Amino acid sequence: MKIWPSFLAALALVLLAWAGVGLFHWQTLFGVVIPYLAFLTFVAGFIRRVVLWGRSAVPFRIPTTCGQQKTLPWIKQDKLENPSSPWQVLGRMCLEVFLFRSLFRNIRTEKRGAALGFGSAKWLWLGGLVFHWSMLIILLRHLRLFLNPVPAPIRGLEALDSFLQIGAPLLYITDLTIVFALTYLFLRRVVVPSVRYISQPADYFPLLLLLAAALSGILMRWFFRVDIRAVKELTMGLVTFHPLPPGQLSIGVIFYIHIFLVSCLFAYFPWSKLMHAGGVFLSPTRNMSNNSRAVRHVNPWNYPVKTHAYAEYEEQFREKMRKAGLPLETE
Amino acid sequence: MARAPKAPKAEELLDFDFSPPAADWMETPVDFKPGTFCYGAKGKNLDIMDLPNARDWSPTDEDWRLPAEWQGTIIEGLADRMKKYRSFRLFLDICVRCGACADKCHFYLGSGDPKNMPVLRAELLRSVYRRYFTRPGKLFGRLAGARDLTVDVLKEWWYYFFQCTECRRCSVFCPYGIDQAEITLMGRELLNLLGLNTDWIAGPVANCFMNGNHVGLEPQTIMSNVEFLLEDIETITGRHIEPSFNRKGAEILFVAPSGDLYAEPGTYTCMGYLMLFDQLGLDYTMSTYASEGGNFGFFTSNETAKRLNAKIYAEARRLGVKWILGGECGHMWRLVNQYMDTWNGPADFLEQPVSPVTGTKFTNAAATRMVHITEFTADLLYHNKIKVDKSRNDHLVITYHDSCNTARGMGLLEEPRYILRRICNNFVEMPEDTIREKTFCCGSGAGLNAGENMELRLRGGFPRANAVKYVREKHGVNVLANICALDRASLPALMDYWVPGVKVMGVHELLGNALVLDGEIERTLDLRSDDLPGKEEEAIV
Ligand code: SF4
Ligand code: SF4
């Protein structure tokens, strides 16, 4: 099963951080060097990949049209599903990026004896949406560790995220939802036969890594209770490029496990399918307007081709054309 | 050439489910099952187009007689196309294998073969891309989903890339818009670098290049074919029509898919066009040189498509027309909408199309200067410029099949529906999940409408037929209307097999039936020369 390599890899990463800090006390390596390297890899790799994509030409206007085209004035155009102007494209892209419009369309098709049946299938959409939004909020929340003083919007977000006011420290809703969503996405891959069939180690690995990172974060906050002020000293040192030797701060191993997993995620990102985060913006079937009949689209590498000209055609059929009474260019 | 195998019984075809096999797909070798693939391209057809590695071969041959350096050719070709097409490069990188597209492909839904899930069809090529172009693929091989390019892999590509109709249904559902049609297009281009086309595509391409249309009709044959249709029109309506061919100075060049010129039931649609134009007194001409709106070149390579498409503008320029009107055809219209101007424009020698009847400016065609016939006719009906007698279609219960290309590569959804509602009293829609942008392919598009692969076509057409069956049982539907020449060529066989009793008709055939011509005789026959129920008795009374 393709799940084991991914599981073992994720486990190995956890053990590595645990051993590295817990046994060998390589705090500087795991708390400073690796995070820096990972972040660099992320930024450089991300940019490299986007530049590679950007350098490829877009020879044709190929939006997938999912609604009525712009046509006669009395026929209503579906501006969001079949945009014909940049603003409409922006609308379509916002729906895709923020609400996963296309995934929302999902339907289940089943074979019922000699007939096909269609059913609603919104779980994948919901799971995906919950995961991505939780992820975003968690990332934004973490900015608290890198900014001094903490800007009001971030504090506001935190307050919102913990508005249930359960427990001490307060429970973040997104901590729950991200774990649920990831678990769902993972189980779906394992349980649904067709999805299991198409899954690669590269599909299980990021899920497991994310799950491990999230869980280590939660453990750190609730069970092992690391010294949050020391953590902030460390993270502020990182962003101000005056990293403190972390050995002097007393931060529990669980923190290093967490930061190492997150570092791995960052470093892994540009080499993997996670790049869909950048790619979704560039997808020509979604980010182009369907106006190529009204406005000329130019292909940068268009080149002349050999055709069979009318003169050659007439040459070939002259007698037959004459007999049939067709007008000729040359008698 | 081997005889085409007989299509199995419906129960046999449907004896599958969607549970995947135990063995990993990379370990499942391709099985060339008779009835599911087309014959290999003949050398002579490739020669006409100067395409590489021209030779006669069969997909079932052990040795495909590939050029010595074939792997290098493919890898280079892949690199080249990644630079030329952002879509391709991106779609190789960003699939997350969420599976949303998996059960959207009609071939998967009609066969249960997991490699017909769009995502796996793409992985067939992606796995090779990873192996030669990505670091993880080079380092970790199988673990990173990468594999070597072997002859078996190549054969698998061939089998499955000619088992995709480039219908884009998968793309509608993908969160990133990943369009397997783009990958199939590139896959087929790569295969064509090694001379690996099907003859059902290569033959029409060669014909179209030399003679102007896919079947290779010569100029005098086109004219005599149309002559037959005109005789029928005269018998049915009493109206004598004299269209023109290759006439310079006409206002409009009309280009139809050649299927409408020679094969039933497309010819009935053609009769509809001819009657409409005559009734309007349209100043138009047809060309024997640009006598093909369709383009099997698109199922071969971008360059081949462009070479065939060039004739339309060239002929419009030579004849000095003002604009171009295009007939009912699916992939023709994806190309007119998304490719033609970019390939062979700018069409600055034409004028912005204006309907001479209503004065409507077709601003949405301001650059290509080519108007779809249903846009043209819908406009006529909206302005009440033609008289129709709906009751002549009263014996029909009509449903409408969106062709993939006009739906997902254009968005021409309402125009044909508007026409249908204006010309008949009984129009019903198929279930929502099977029409418009979610329409199911006929299963024979992208050059798959051959005879030898009938089993594949029946399987691919099953989801469409299934929806037709539903409305036939519920509403008594007996006509499947469409605006596509390939539909008209392929759906009749499909209906006979899955839903007997449903006729396949072009929208303009139905229009021709309802259209009231000036000075026509009492109609007792439809365009198929069948009795018009109800009308023959009236004539007697
Ligand atoms: S829907 Fe898109 S991302 Fe999901 S498996 Fe299919 S192609 Fe990949
Ligand atoms: S383009 Fe159509 S035929 Fe091809 S994989 Fe997608 S759904 Fe299937």
Provide the ipTM. 0.95
Model's pTM, two decimal places?
Answer: 0.95
C-alpha count within 13 angstroms, C-beta hemisphere, residue B480:
33
The Cα A81–Cα A286 span in angstroms is 9
C-alpha count within 13 angstroms, C-beta hemisphere, residue A109:
32
Spatial CB neighbours of B130, under 8 Å, sequence gap ≥ 6:
B136, B137, B144, B145, B146
**Beta-ladder partners of A120:** A107
What is the CA angle A239-A240-A244, rounded to 5? 90
| Contact across the interface for A302 and B343, Cβ inside 8 Å | yes
Structure tokens at A178: 């991200």
The Cα A151–Cα A143 span in angstroms is 9
CA-nearest residue to B438 within chain A is: A66
The Cα B536–Cα B55 span in angstroms is 57
> Ligand 2 mean position to B490 CA, how many Å?
17
Q: Does A133 touch chain B (CB under 8 A)?
A: no
Structure tokens at B18: 């969607």
Per residue in B383-427, pLDDT tens?
Answer: 999 999 999 999 999 999 999 999 999 999 999 999 999 999 999
Q: Which residue has the tokens 């057809």?
A: B45
**pLDDT tens-digit profile, chain A (331 residues):** 689 999 999 999 999 999 999 999 999 999 999 999 999 999 999 999 999 999 999 999 999 999 999 999 999 999 999 999 999 999 999 999 999 999 999 999 999 888 999 998 999 999 999 999 999 999 999 999 999 899 999 999 999 999 888 887 888 999 999 999 999 999 999 999 999 999 999 999 999 999 999 999 999 988 888 898 999 999 999 999 999 887 778 899 999 999 999 999 999 999 999 999 999 999 999 999 999 999 999 999 999 999 999 999 999 999 999 999 999 999 7
CA-nearest residue to A2 within chain B is: B143
The Cα B423–Cα B514 span in angstroms is 6
State residue B443's pLDDT score: 96
Q: Which of A57, A70, A111 is nearest residue B18 as measured by Cβ atoms?
A: A111
Q: Report which of B104, B108, B10, B5 is spatially closest to residue B469, judged by C-alpha positions.
A: B10
What 3-state DSSP class applies to B531?
Answer: strand
State residue B534's pLDDT score: 79
**pLDDT tens-digit profile, chain B (541 residues):** 445 567 789 999 999 999 999 999 999 999 999 999 999 999 999 999 999 999 999 999 999 999 999 999 999 999 999 999 999 999 999 999 999 999 999 999 999 999 999 999 999 999 999 999 999 999 999 999 999 999 999 999 999 999 999 999 999 999 999 999 999 999 999 999 999 999 999 999 999 999 999 999 999 999 999 999 999 999 999 999 999 999 999 999 999 999 999 999 999 999 999 999 999 999 999 999 999 999 999 999 999 999 999 999 999 999 999 999 999 999 999 999 999 999 999 999 999 999 999 999 999 999 999 999 999 999 999 999 999 999 999 999 999 999 999 999 999 999 999 999 999 999 999 999 999 999 999 999 999 999 999 999 999 999 999 999 999 999 999 999 999 999 999 999 999 999 999 999 999 999 999 999 999 999 999 999 999 987 765 544 4
Q: Report which of B170, B178, B35 is spatially closest to residue B116, judged by C-alpha positions.
A: B170
Residue located nearest, by CA, to atom 5 of ligand 2: B118
DSSP symbol at B323: E
**Beta-ladder partners of B284:** B252
Q: Does A66 touch chain B (CB under 8 A)?
A: yes
Q: Does A294 touch chain B (CB under 8 A)?
A: yes
Each domain of chain B, given as residue ranges in start order, spans: 12-21+29-197, 204-523
Q: Report which of A185, A135, A167, A279 is spatially closest to residue B95, judged by C-alpha positions.
A: A279
| Contact across the interface for B364 and A68, Cβ inside 8 Å | no
Preceding amide of B346 cis, omega within 30? yes
Structure tokens at A89: 């494209």
The Cα A101–Cα A99 span in angstroms is 5
> Ligand 1 mean position to B15 CA, how many Å?
27
Torsion sign across C-alpha atoms A299, A300, A301, A305: positive
What is the CA angle B429-B435-B440, rounded to 5? 130
Domain around A112? 3-299
CA-nearest residue to B309 within chain A is: A307
Residues of chain A neighbouring B82 (CB-CB closer than 8 A): 56
Residue A149: count of CB within 10 angstroms of its CB: 8
**Beta-ladder partners of B398:** B427, B479
Residue ranges of the alpha helices (H) in B336-387?
Answer: 341-344, 373-382
Q: Does A104 touch chain B (CB under 8 A)?
A: no
Residues of chain B neighbouring A315 (CB-CB closer than 8 A): none
Are A80 and A66 in contact by the 8 Å Cβ rule? The answer is: no
| Contact across the interface for A305 and B172, Cβ inside 8 Å | no
The Cα B284–Cα B356 span in angstroms is 11
Are B463 and B434 in contact by the 8 Å Cβ rule? The answer is: yes
Residues of chain B neighbouring A195 (CB-CB closer than 8 A): 97-99, 102
Residues of chain A neighbouring B469 (CB-CB closer than 8 A): 115
The Cα A152–Cα B281 span in angstroms is 72
Residue ranges of the alpha helices (H) in A192-272?
Answer: 193-198, 201-222, 228-239, 253-268
Give the CATH number, domain containing residue A207.
1.20.950.20
Domain membership flag for residue A320: no
> Which residues 130-189 on chain B approach chain A with CB closer than 8 angstroms?
134-136, 143-145, 168, 171-179, 182
- Which residue in B28, B90, B371 has the most chain A C-beta atoms within 10 A of its own C-beta, making it the best mutation to test that interface? B90
Domain membership flag for residue A141: yes
Domain membership flag for residue A307: no
User: Closest Cα of chain B to A164: distance in Å?
Assistant: 32
Are B80 and B99 in contact by the 8 Å Cβ rule? The answer is: no
> Ligand 1 mean position to B175 CA, how many Å?
7
> Ligand 2 mean position to A229 CA, how many Å?
55
DSSP symbol at A161: H
State residue A155's pLDDT score: 95
Are B173 and B101 in contact by the 8 Å Cβ rule? The answer is: yes
| Contact across the interface for A284 and B223, Cβ inside 8 Å | no
> Ligand 2 mean position to B447 CA, how many Å?
13
User: Closest Cα of chain B to A117: distance in Å?
Assistant: 9
